[in-house]
Structure 1
């Protein structure tokens, strides 16, 4: 089994299984044991070399991998907070010098009655 190929072939398809302890195993979709039908797994020995798929079982430590978290900030879209910081300041309506209270009613002053 060749792990690095230039073109995507059926040999490149693997099934990913996640265990309760967050370890991940990868089994080949194309290759299986001829007699038992057991899947072949990717495994790395103590020296860091790839093991033969028919020699690796899913219960062996050589087949267990811990996934590495990738930096997702490279792919995230900007949030509204980021956009607000980058945008120019907004123009606001000018207010008068008199204090304005929220929910206050404007008082109407009636003219004084004139005697006729």
Structure 2
């Protein structure tokens, strides 16, 4: 009896420890694995989206053009004339303040160096190696003028390229008593012909002049000081 009871106890304990076997599932059809589950389908879709985003190339952003802060102004000479540029680029002085020919764009192109561009004609005030003032269609080294303030708060515009070879004296932009442009080497900085009083009308942003067009003539003297 004791042996039979212990045998029954061992059988019961063994039945508790061994989990019941799962019933076999439905047989898979021959020829490949079964259909993916809903979780697998969502995971595959997410992976495809991530790969698609990685393959897309972002459009290259065009770098913004450099903007220079300048001013629109009228340049009144010490003799009372206003610097004027006609539609054909002719430079002279006029007593009449009104009119688009007296408007100029003062564009900074360096440290205390400006380009003086006619607002209507679109040409630049320039000075050649002989000191002659003219209007240039393109921006060149002869269109650069150093801007400095004189004792009477007037502004002097000296050629940034040319000056006297022997004395080193600067060549200045100037108008005579009749409003005619003077040769740069004949203008004195202490005379009214070289004194300009800019009348600022508005501050504006300008595109930087094309630097590849700046060409210094061979044998050009050192810059004015």
**Cα RMSD (Å) of the superposition?**
1.4
Partner of 1:42: 173
1:7 corresponds to which of 131, 138, 142? 138
RCO comparison, higher one (Cα < 8 Å, 6+): 2
Q: Which has the larger radius of gyration?
A: 2
| Offset at residue 69 of structure 1 (A) | 1.5
CA contact (8 A) 1:3 1:12 kept: no
TM-score normalised by structure 1 residue count? 0.58
Q: Which structure has the highest helix share of the two?
A: 2
Q: Distance in 1 between matches of 2:156 and 2:133?
A: 17
CA contact (8 A) 2:147 2:158 kept: yes
Q: Distance in 2 between matches of 1:20 and 1:52?
A: 23
Cα deviation 1:38-65 (Å, max 9, x = unaligned): 1100010011000010001111110000
TM-score normalised by structure 2 residue count? 0.31
Q: Distance in 2 between matches of 1:20 and 1:36?
A: 22
Q: Distance in 1 between matches of 2:201 and 2:135?
A: 21
1:26 aligns with 2:149: no
Q: Distance in 1 between matches of 2:183 and 2:151?
A: 25
Q: Distance in 2 between matches of 1:29 and 1:42?
A: 11
Q: Distance in 1 between matches of 2:151 and 2:166?
A: 29
CA contact (8 A) 2:158 2:172 kept: yes
Q: Distance in 1 between matches of 2:133 and 2:201?
A: 25
CA contact (8 A) 2:133 2:181 kept: no
Q: Distance in 2 between matches of 1:67 and 1:45?
A: 17
Structure 2: runs of 5+ lacking an equivalent: 1-131, 205-225
Structure 1: runs of 5+ lacking an equivalent: 76-116
After the TM superposition, list the runs of 4 or more consecutive aligned residues in structure 1 that deviate by more than 4 angstroms: none
